[in-house]
Amino acid sequence: EDQVTQSPEALRLQEGESSSLNCSYTVSGLRGLFWYRQDPGKGPEFLFTLYSAGEEKEKERLKATLTKKESFLHITAPKPEDSATYLCAVQSYYGQNFVFGPGTRLSVLP
């Protein structure tokens, strides 16, 4: 059974304090790993897709990386507007189902 875990459950940072969020997964043949951002009262918003180990994607202060067992979302010099819940999801080759992790709640304090 495909599974996704995320750590930490919650993270509080000072503005400018860089850190990383972890997404660990087990999947029978990874088709893709997806990162989403979710703001309160909103649906998840797509950030990145990673397809193979070693791949990296960047967007503004965010960089996502992928290994065969986990993915990291690195946040460089975060700002208060980066505060949100970050969700990770995987899709296997054997189905179209997306399995989501529980998310990491990030708070960036000014």
Partner 1 sequence: DAGVIQSPRHEVTEMGQEVTLRCKPISGHNSLFWYRQTMMRGLELLIYFNNNVPIDDSGMPEDRFSAKMPNASFSTLKIQPSEPRDSAVYFCASCVSNQPQHFGDGTRLSIL
Instruction: Give residues in contact with partner 1 (CB under 8 A).
Output: 31-32, 34, 36, 41-46, 49, 87, 91, 95-103
DSSP type of residue 42: S
φ, ψ dihedrals at 81, nearest 5°: -70, -10
Counting every residue, how long is the chain?
110
Q: Taking the complex as a whole, how short is the minimal distance between the CB of residue 41 and partner 1, in angstroms?
A: 7
Q: Taking the complex as a whole, how short is the minimal distance between the CB of residue 75 and partner 1, in angstroms?
A: 20
Q: Taking the complex as a whole, how short is the minimal distance between the CB of residue 14 and partner 1, in angstroms?
A: 26
Name the residue with tokens 């791949």.
Answer: 55
92 three-class SS? strand
Which C-beta is closer to partner 1: that of 17 or that of 46?
46
Which C-beta is closer to partner 1: that of 65 or that of 104?
104
Using alpha carbons only, give the angle 29, 33, 39 rounded to the nearest 5 degrees: 150
Which C-beta is closer to partner 1: that of 41 or that of 54?
41
Provide the 10 A C-beta neighbour count for residue 1.
Answer: 6
Q: Taking the complex as a whole, how short is the minimal distance between the CB of residue 51 and partner 1, in angstroms?
A: 10
